Amino acid sequence: MRWGWLACLWIGCLAGIGCDREDTPPAASSPTEPSQPPASPWRYADAMAKALPNTPFRIVVELSRGGQGLAWVVAATVDEGVPQLTLWTFEQQDEDVAPHGTPQPLTRARPGDPPRPAHDEFRRNLAAPGAVVRRPVGLPAADAKALATTLTEHARVANDTDQAAAQRVAATGQLVQGLDDALVFERDELAEIVGLLADPSLQIGEATSQSPRRATVPLTVGDSVRTAQVWAKGEGWTLVGLEPAE
């Protein structure tokens, strides 16, 4: 199953495979912006704020399916001291929106943990006919290496227990925005990516251009080298894969 279409969808758009934009990516973003802007563009931000009073969160995906009266919201949170994604279900009746059921962890908290039951269910909802998805993808960065540097900054803030929860949540949300759908929602590799990028010994090499919109960047930890596949798409640059170096 492929998730390339999800990266290009905004509320009201149903499907669009191959929607990579030709725009030149803008300048890099800060890894420590507020966890949820006051004037949020997210439809369910107010409902999330009521469900999580005084608790930082960062919405990364909203999903609905016509006629069901249900919506699914994926938000970055810090649970048990670990940054991860949590799945919320909301029920809407007329103008009233309320949580439906219990929120579920969506991604594995640590590498090697068993998959979360909610992960497969969310993937099925994403693939269902009539799914309407909103998810910004891509981070502003000057080039592929700058994207790798930005993701590393976000991962280290997200993984730093000395940082405030709001800053860790904001960094987790930004990190997810810089990752392709397949890494997070198909292969559930968020925990591995955070672990790799947050490693203090990580060395980021020079980018090798494959085309004006695609490049590779070597990431080295000790004797291990991974090749980051980086594409210009969505809102800027996006990490679409991590492969062992040849």
Ordered per-residue pLDDT tens for the chain, 246 residues: 334 433 333 333 333 333 333 333 444 444 444 445 455 789 899 999 998 888 999 999 999 986 678 899 999 998 878 888 999 999 877 677 888 888 999 999 888 899 899 999 899 888 888 889 999 999 999 999 999 999 999 999 999 999 999 999 999 999 999 999 999 999 999 999 999 999 999 999 999 999 999 999 999 999 999 999 999 988 899 999 999 876
Distance separating alpha carbons of residues 185 and 180, to the nearest angstrom: 9
Signed CA dihedral, 11, 165, 196, 219: sign only: positive
Q: Which domain holds residue 73?
A: 4-15+22-244
- Residue 97 to residue 48: CA distance in whole angstroms: 10
CA dihedral 114→58→161→201, nearest 10 degrees, is 70
Q: Which residues contact 18 (CB under 8 A, 6 or more apart)?
A: 4
Residues 216, 157 contacting (CB under 8 angstroms) = no
| φ, ψ of residue 64 in degrees (nearest 5) | -135, 160
| pTM of the model as a whole | 0.81
d(CA 11, CA 134): 5
d(CA 73, CA 61): 6
Structure tokens at 174: 């930004």
Q: What is the tally of structural domains in the chain?
A: 1
